[in-house]
Amino acid sequence: MILAILDMGLIFFGYVTTIWFYQVFSIPLEGESINPFWLLAPSAAAFIFFRFFDLYKDLRRNNIQTQLYSIVLPMILFSGFISILSFLGTLNIYRKSFFIEALFIQIILLAAVHAGIWYLANTLHGRKKVIIICDDQNTGQSLAQKFLNHKWFEISGFLPLTQIKDLENHVNKFDVFLLAPTVIGQKKNDIISLCIKNGKEILTVPQVSELFVQTAKTQQVDDMLVFSINPAGLNLWQRINKRVFDVIISLLMLALTSPVFLILLMLIPLTSKGPAIYKQERIGLNGKPYWIYKFRSMIQDAEKMTGPVLAAKKDTRITAIGRFIRAVRLDELPQLLNVIKGEMSLIGPRPEREYFISQFKEEFPDYSHRLTVKPGITGLAQVLSYYSTTVDDKLRFDLLYVRNYTFSLDLKILFQTFQVILQRDRAQGLLENNKYVQQNLKNARTIKDIS
C-alpha cells in the first residue's frame, strides 16, 4: 500500500513537472488552465492498471525486467486511454497531448524509484540459500532451473529423501527449503513442521488436491471443523458473466484487428502454398470436440509424414511469415470466431488435441479437470509459465485458474497477455541457460557434504 501511494504521488509529480515545462518554455496551451490538484484523480486511477499487471507482487520474487515491464505497459495503456478522452474533448485541459507528454517523465520517475527499491530490498535481504529436497540429483537439477531468473536465490545443494534424517541437524544453516512434488505424506508433514519450528521458509510444489483445498470453505459440523470442497467448474452466474464478457470483447477485438485480419488473409497464401486459415479438431468443454480456427503458420499438411507432434522451438515446418505471426500471437486471431460461436472463451486453459490429451491423462489423471471450463485463447499458464514449461507445471496453473476464477482475474490475464507478447525472450531463457544450471549443479552437494 505504501508503494502504491508512492506511485500515485510520482504520477502526480509527473503531471506537475509537465505543467512547469510549459511555463518555462512558454509552450502555448490549447485548453483551459485548471488547478493541478484536479490531476490527483487520474493519478489515483493509474493504480488500477498497475494492479492488473501485478506490479505489487513480492519484489524479491520478481526480476528487474518484469518490474519495468509492469510499469511501462500499464502506463502506456492508461495514458493512451485518458488521452483519447482528452482528444475527444471530454478532458479539455492544457493541451490535448498533455497526458502523452507527461508519460515520458512519469515512466522515468517510476522506473528509477522502483529499480532503486528493488535493488535495496534484495540487498537488505541478501541471497537466500536454498536446499532442494528431492529423490535424486537429476530431479534437483530440473527444479534448480526454475531459479535461473531469480538471482537472489543461491542453490546450496540438494538433500535426497534417503538422507532426510540429517535435516534436523543442519536446518539452521539454510534459508529456504524447496520440496519436490514427490515429497508427500508424513515425510512432507514432518519437514514442514521442522522448518516452521526453526523459522525457515518452505517452498512446495502443490499436488492437485492441495490446489482444491486452497479454495475450500471452512464449515462446522456439530463441534467438528471441516473443509468444504466443491466440484471443479463455474457456477451459473459465473458462466453468464464470462459469456457476456467474451462476446463483447471478441466483437471489439475483431473490429480493431480487421485490417490485420484482411492483410493476413491475402499475404499467407501468397508466401506459401495453401489457404490462409486452417482448422483442426480440438477438445473443448466437458470433452466435446470442435474445430479450432487459426492462421496457418506452417507449410500445408505439416503433419502428413510425421503424424501429430508438438511444435519444436526451431521447427523447420514453420514458414517465414508463420514465425512472425506465432511470435506476436497473430495466428490466434481467428479463434475470436470460436469465442463468438461459444466453443471457446477468451480466457481459459489452452485447447489440446485428443491424441495428446489421451497421453496426458495416462500420466496425469487430474488432467481432465481442465475440461470443466471452456478452453481459452490465453490463460493463466500462458502468462505465468514459459514455452518450455512441462505439462504438469502448466496443469497446476490451469487448475489454479479453474479453482480461483473471478471476473477480475480474467481482466488481469487479458492485460498481462500483452506483456507476454512483448517479452518473447522469456520463452527462451530457460532453454538457453539449461547448460549453465547443469554445470553449476554437476557437483551438487548433499547436506552431509556441505557440513
120: pLDDT strictly greater than 70: yes
**Domain coordinates in residue numbering, the chain:** 2-124, 126-231+435-450, 236-405
pLDDT at 376: 95
pLDDT at 144: 83
DSSP string, 40-109: HHHHHHHHHHHHHTTTTS-GGGS-HHHHHHHHHHHHHHHHHHHHHHHHTTSS-BS-TTHHHHHHHHHHHH
Average pLDDT over residues 259-285: 91
- Phi-psi region at 331: left, alpha or beta (left = phi > 0; alpha = psi -120 to 50): alpha
428: pLDDT strictly greater than 60: no
Residue whose C-alpha cell is 534484495: 122
131: pLDDT strictly greater than 60: yes
pLDDT at 181: 85
Average pLDDT of the chain to the nearest whole number: 83
Higher pLDDT, 273 or 140: 273
- CA 379/CA 350 separation, integer angstroms: 7
- CA 271/CA 286 separation, integer angstroms: 38
Higher pLDDT, 280 or 437: 280
pLDDT at 96: 74
- CA 268/CA 324 separation, integer angstroms: 12
257: pLDDT strictly greater than 50: yes
CB 155 within 8 A of CB 143: no
Per the DSSP assignment, residues forming a β-bridge with 347 are 378
- CA 141/CA 449 separation, integer angstroms: 17
309: pLDDT strictly greater than 70: no
Average pLDDT over residues 154-165: 83
Phi, psi of 323 (to 5 degrees): -65, -35
Confidence band, pLDDT 50/70/90 cuts, at residue 324: confident
- The percent of residues in the chain predicted with pLDDT above 90, rounded, is 29
CATH architecture observed for domain 126-231+435-450: 3-Layer(aba) Sandwich (3.40)
Average pLDDT over residues 331-338: 94
